[in-house]
Structure 1
Amino acid sequence: MLKVQLAEACYGVEQADCVADVLEAARYCRPDLVLSAMSLPDGTAADVKTALRQDEMLADIPVIAITQSNAPERRLHALSAGIDDVLPQPVDDVILQARIRSLLRARSANEELHMQRDASHGFVLPLSDRAGHEECSSASVALIAQDSKTAQAWAKQLGDHVPYALRYHDLDDIKLMMSAPVADVFIIELNEISAGPGLRLLADLRARAATRQSVVIAVPNPADPMIAAEALDRGAHDVLQAGFDVDELALRLTTQLQYKSRNDRLRDSVRNGLRAAVEDPMTGLYNRRYAKPFLDRTAKRAAESNDSFALMLADLDHFKQINDQYGHPAGDAVLVEAARRLQAQMRPVDLVARVGGEEFMIVLPGADEISAGIAAVELCNAINSKPFYVPGSSEPIQVTISIGAVVGHDLSRKEDRTDWADAADKRGQDRGASNVTELISLADRALYDAKNSGRNQVTLGKNSTAAA
C-alpha cells in the first residue's frame, strides 16, 4: 500500500523485508530515505539505523519507523535510538509526505555543505566531539505560545529535563525574539487560535538572516496532523505530532541542537576553507586568486556604467636587503605592517592584495587620473613617512615603496580609447579580457619606470611621475 502511495507521489521505491536486505539494497541503490516497519524478522527499525550508520556512505540516510503502537514510551525509545521519526498505523498520508519532504530537504542541504567543505579543503569534527557537546549545553531556547502563561509553564517543565537557557514569549513579542543574541531554538505552539500567526512566524524565522540557522520546532497543541504537515512544509525542523510532551520535546530538542552544532561547524569550516583559498595567510590581505577576478569585475562594471577605475602595482624597495640585514622574521614583520598601512588608506570599495613576495595590487573603482594620483601618493607616504619597528631589531627600519598606476576607462567610447586598446582590437582578441591583461602590463611597466627613476615614488601612465 505504501509503495503505491509513494510511487503515485513520483518516488522511486525499492523493497526489502529484513535488516540484511535493507543494507544490501541501500548499497546498491543509495536511497534518499528508508521507511521501515518498527519490527522486522531479524531486528527492528533501530537496528536498520545502526547498520546504516556503520557504513560511511549510508550513515546520513534518514529513517522513518512505522509502528502499530502509538505508546509514548515506544516512540521515545525509537527516537533515542536515532530514528528520525515514528509514525503510527494507520499512516496519515499528509503527515507522511510532509515528513519525507522535510527530511529530504535537510539531507540535501547537509550534502551540499559537505561538498562545499570538500571543495574548500576544510575540516569538521564529528558530531560527537567535545566541542559540539559544549556548544549544545550553552544553547538558548525560546518557547513561544499564544499567551505567555502557556510558554512559561512549558519552560518550567522543560527546565527540569534540559540544561539549556530558557526564555519564553507570546506570539506578539517579535521584537524581543529578534533582539540579539537570537535564540538557538524556537519552539512554537500551534493551537486552534494561534496556528495561522504561528505558521507565519515560523516562515518568517526561517527566512530572516538573523534566525535562518536557528532550529524551529512546532508543537500542534492539541495534536493535528494537518497543522503538523503545514509546519514541516513551512520549514520547521521538527514537530511533536502528538502534541506537547515534555520528555519527547527534550529528546527532539537535544537531537536538533546536535545537528545544528555539527552544521554550524561545517559552515564555519566551509567559510574558513574559502577564506584560506583567497587570503594571504601572513598579511591577511586578499591574494592573487581573488585580486584578478576582482579586477575583471571592476573593469566590466566600469564599461557598463561609463566609469573609470585605477589599477596600481606596488613593490617595497630593496626588500631583499631588509631580509639580508635584519633576517627573514623582520622582513615578515615589515610585510605585515606595510599591508596594514596600505589597507588603512583604502575605501570600503577598494582592494589591496598581496600578489607576490613584496608586491601588492591595488584596485580603486571609480577613480580617475587625478584621484588615482592623489591616492597613490598617499599610499607611498603611508609607507615612507614613519619608520618600521619590528621585533628582533634594535633600530627602526626605514622602508619605501614604488607604485605604478594606470587608469582604465569604458573603451566603448571613442574618446576614451587608447593605443593599447586599439592594438588589442587589431589582434582580434576579446576586448574585455585583453584590455585587463594589457592594463596589468601597463601598470607593471609604470612600476618598472618608478623603480628606474630612483624608487620611493609613483609613476602614472606611461611618462608622468608624481613625487611622494
Structure 2
Amino acid sequence: MQGTILVIDGISTNRIMLKVQLTAACYGVEQADCVADVLEAARHCRPDLVLTAMTLPDGTAADVKDALRQDELLADVPVIAITQSNAPERRLNALSAGIDDVLPQPVDDVILQARIRSLLRARSANEELHMQRDASHGFVLPLSDRAGHEEAKGATVALVAQDPKTAQAWAKQLEDYVPYELRCHDLDDIKLMMSAPVADVFVIELNEISAGPGLRLLADLRARAATRQSVVIAVPNPADPMISAEALDRGAHDVLQAGFDVDELALRLTTQLQYKSRNDRLRDSVRNGLRAAVQDPMTGLYNRRYAKPFLDRTAKRAAETGDSFALMLADLDHFKQINDEYGHPAGDAVLVEAARRLQAQMRPVDLVARVGGEEFMIVLPGADEISAGIAAVELCNAINSEPFQVPGVNTPIQVTISIGAVIGRDPNCGNEPGACRGQDRGTTSVSELISNADRALYDAKNAGRNQVTLSKNTTAAA
C-alpha cells in the first residue's frame, strides 16, 4: 500500500466511489461519515491524508481540520476538501482554515491523484526531518507563529512568466496584498533567477505556449542545490487540470488550479512561506544536532567521534591509491600547571587559542581534532615524511612563537606543544608515491598507526617536550 487515506462524507455513494478510485491506485482507505467520528477514526487508522466533503451532516471541512488539531500526532495530516460549489469565497475560506486544497465535484481523477502524491511526498519529507532531528539529538527552541510570520515578511517572491508584462501585472496586483519583495522574470532569465540570494518562492506561469519550458524550469529549480529549498507555485493560465497534475508531479509545492487569482495566490504564498520557515528551522536543528555530535563545543574543532572515521577513510583511500598520509598526536606541554597556576578559565582560553593556531596551519583537506583534554589529532592526507616533518615543526612554532594573551591574566602565558607523528603507507610498497596505486593491498591498521603516533608523542615528551618525534625515532627539533 502507498498510504492510508481517511475518506469522510455523509453520503455513502460518494464514499464508495472515492474508495474505488483510491483502492485502484493502491491506497488503503478508511471511512467516516461525520465530524463527530473523525478523531476516533483517525486515531484508529493513523491516516497519511484526509479526503473530506466540504459539507458534512454535523459540520464542515474546517471542523474536520480543527478536530485533527486536537491530537498532536494528527495535527499535520494534510486535508483535501471536495466541494459541490467552487465559489471563490468558499474556496478561500477553506484554505484560510488550513485545508490544503479544495477540489470541485465531479472530481478529476488525474488532478486528485497528483494532489495526493504531492501532499504525501511533502508529509514524508517533513516526517524524515523530524526523525533526523530526533536522531541527531538536535534541539531548537520552537519559534512562535508570530516569529514565523515576521520571518516571512522579508521573503522574496519571483514571478516568472513567458511575457514580462504578465509578471509585472501580477506584481502590480500582489503588491497591495503581501509584504514580500516581488521580482519579475521571463522564462529565459535563469541566470538572474540563480543570482544570490535566490528567491524564497518562484511563481511560474504555465500557459499554452510556455507550459513545456515552464515545467522544465520547475523541475530544474527543484533539482538545483541553490533553489532546492525554495517554494515553487505553478499557475496554469488558463486553468488546465492536466498541466496542474504535471506540475505537481514535477515537484511544485502548490498549484492555482483555477488560474491566476490574486486573493488565492496571496493566501497560498503566506501558507507556503510558513511551511518553508518551519522546515528551514527543522533543517537547522538537524544540522546543529549533527554538528554537536561531532564537534568539540569549546574549541569548535571536530571531536574524536568525527576524527576516527576521517582517519579510517584517509587510510582506505591511501590503500587504494598507493599514496601516503601523516597521522600526528599533539599534546600541550605542562597544561596542568597552567590550570593550577591561572585557573581553569585561563586553561580553557589557552585551549581555544591553541586550537585556532593549529587550525590556521591546516590545508582544506587536513583535519585537526580535539580528542582529549589538551590532546589533538592531526591527519594530513597525501603527506610523506618530509612534508609531514615540515608541517609538524610549523605547528610547534605556531604554538610556541608567541605567548598567549589570556583575559584576566596580566602576564602572557608561554605555551609549547609536543607532537608524535607517523606515516601511513602499505609496508609492502616502496617509498615512491603511488607505488601500490590501484592494488588495494591495505595499509598498516589504523589502530597500530595510532599506537605508533602515541609512542612517538611520549618520546617527544621524554626528550624534553616542545618538539616533534617522527615514528622510528626520527626526530625534528622545533
* Equivalent pair of 2:315/2:446 in contact (CA under 8 Å): yes
Instruction: Could you list the structure 1 runs, at least 4 aligned residues long, displaced by more than 3 angstroms after superposition.
Output: 124-130, 422-434
Larger CA deviation: 204-213 vs 118-127: 118-127
| C-alpha deviation, 1:89, in angstroms | 0.1
Deviations 1:316-369 (A, max 9, x none): 000011111111111111111110110011110000000011000000111111
| C-alpha deviation, 1:374, in angstroms | 1.1
CA distance in 1, matches of 2:58, 2:218: 41
| C-alpha deviation, 1:460, in angstroms | 0.5
| C-alpha deviation, 1:16, in angstroms | 1.0
Of 294, 300, 304, which aligns to 1:278? 294
CA distance in 1, matches of 2:453, 2:182: 59
CA distance 1:456–1:7, shift in 2 (3 Å)? same
SS at match of 2:393: helix
* Equivalent pair of 1:127/1:258 in contact (CA under 8 Å): no
SS at match of 2:413: coil
Larger CA deviation: 220-229 vs 426-435: 426-435
SS at match of 1:363: strand
* Equivalent pair of 1:35/1:66 in contact (CA under 8 Å): yes
| C-alpha deviation, 1:123, in angstroms | 2.6
| C-alpha deviation, 1:134, in angstroms | 1.5
* Structure 2: tracts of 5 or more residues without a match: 1-16, 427-431
Deviations 1:371-424 (A, max 9, x none): 1111111111111111111111111111000000001113xxxxxxxxxxx999
CA distance 1:222–1:25, shift in 2 (3 Å)? same
* Equivalent pair of 1:127/1:259 in contact (CA under 8 Å): no
* Equivalent pair of 2:162/2:186 in contact (CA under 8 Å): yes
* Equivalent pair of 2:460/2:469 in contact (CA under 8 Å): yes
SS at match of 1:433: coil
| C-alpha deviation, 1:101, in angstroms | 0.3
SS at match of 2:444: helix
CA distance in 2, matches of 1:59, 1:125: 20
| C-alpha deviation, 1:258, in angstroms | 0.2
Larger CA deviation: 457-466 vs 182-191: 457-466
* Equivalent pair of 1:126/1:262 in contact (CA under 8 Å): no
* Equivalent pair of 1:404/1:445 in contact (CA under 8 Å): yes
* Equivalent pair of 2:425/2:444 in contact (CA under 8 Å): no
Larger CA deviation: 37-46 vs 88-97: 37-46
CA distance 1:459–1:211, shift in 2 (3 Å)? same
CA distance in 2, matches of 1:126, 1:281: 22
* Equivalent pair of 2:323/2:433 in contact (CA under 8 Å): no
CA distance 1:215–1:429, shift in 2 (3 Å)? closer
| C-alpha deviation, 1:268, in angstroms | 0.6
CA distance 1:146–1:127, shift in 2 (3 Å)? farther
Is it true that 1:346 corresponds to 2:362 in the alignment? yes
CA distance in 2, matches of 1:76, 1:143: 21
When the two chains are superposed, the root-mean-square deviation of aligned CA atoms in Å is: 3.2
Larger CA deviation: 377-386 vs 122-131: 122-131
CA distance 1:171–1:430, shift in 2 (3 Å)? closer
CA distance in 2, matches of 1:99, 1:314: 58
Deviations 1:206-244 (A, max 9, x none): 111111100000000110000000000010000000001
Deviations 1:256-286 (A, max 9, x none): 0000000001101111111111111111100
SS at match of 2:239: coil
CA distance in 2, matches of 1:460, 1:299: 18
| C-alpha deviation, 1:43, in angstroms | 1.4
CA distance 1:163–1:91, shift in 2 (3 Å)? same
* Equivalent pair of 1:16/1:22 in contact (CA under 8 Å): yes
CA distance 1:44–1:91, shift in 2 (3 Å)? same
Partner of 1:406: 422
Partner of 2:6: none
SS at match of 2:29: coil
CA distance 1:228–1:456, shift in 2 (3 Å)? same
CA distance in 2, matches of 1:381, 1:427: 34
CA distance 1:430–1:255, shift in 2 (3 Å)? same
Is it true that 1:292 corresponds to 2:308 in the alignment? yes
| C-alpha deviation, 1:20, in angstroms | 2.7
CA distance in 1, matches of 2:36, 2:335: 68
| C-alpha deviation, 1:129, in angstroms | 3.3
* Equivalent pair of 2:62/2:97 in contact (CA under 8 Å): yes
Larger CA deviation: 389-398 vs 62-71: 389-398
CA distance 1:206–1:427, shift in 2 (3 Å)? closer
CA distance in 1, matches of 2:317, 2:436: 24
CA distance in 2, matches of 1:286, 1:232: 41
| C-alpha deviation, 1:167, in angstroms | 1.2
* Equivalent pair of 2:323/2:437 in contact (CA under 8 Å): no
CA distance in 2, matches of 1:430, 1:21: 64
* Equivalent pair of 2:403/2:413 in contact (CA under 8 Å): yes
CA distance in 1, matches of 2:439, 2:351: 37
Normalising by structure 2, we get a TM-score of 0.92
CA distance 1:60–1:433, shift in 2 (3 Å)? farther
* Equivalent pair of 1:424/1:434 in contact (CA under 8 Å): no
* Equivalent pair of 1:349/1:364 in contact (CA under 8 Å): yes
SS at match of 1:362: strand
CA distance 1:187–1:98, shift in 2 (3 Å)? same
CA distance 1:316–1:126, shift in 2 (3 Å)? closer
| C-alpha deviation, 1:427, in angstroms | 27
Normalising by structure 1, we get a TM-score of 0.94
* Equivalent pair of 1:37/1:65 in contact (CA under 8 Å): yes
Partner of 1:42: 58
CA distance in 2, matches of 1:276, 1:49: 37
| C-alpha deviation, 1:39, in angstroms | 1.1
* Structure 1: tracts of 5 or more residues without a match: 411-421
* Equivalent pair of 2:160/2:186 in contact (CA under 8 Å): yes
SS at match of 2:32: coil
Deviations 1:269-311 (A, max 9, x none): 1111111111111111000110011011111111111111111
SS at match of 1:403: strand
| C-alpha deviation, 1:124, in angstroms | 4.0
CA distance in 1, matches of 2:203, 2:307: 45
Deviations 1:7-39 (A, max 9, x none): 011111111111232221211111110100111
* Percent identical: 90
CA distance 1:175–1:431, shift in 2 (3 Å)? closer
* Equivalent pair of 2:320/2:439 in contact (CA under 8 Å): no
CA distance 1:427–1:229, shift in 2 (3 Å)? closer
| C-alpha deviation, 1:135, in angstroms | 1.1
CA distance in 1, matches of 2:391, 2:234: 56
Larger CA deviation: 239-248 vs 41-50: 41-50
Partner of 1:91: 107
CA distance 1:220–1:270, shift in 2 (3 Å)? same
* Equivalent pair of 2:201/2:231 in contact (CA under 8 Å): yes
Deviations 1:54-109 (A, max 9, x none): 20111111000000001000100100000000000000000000000000000000
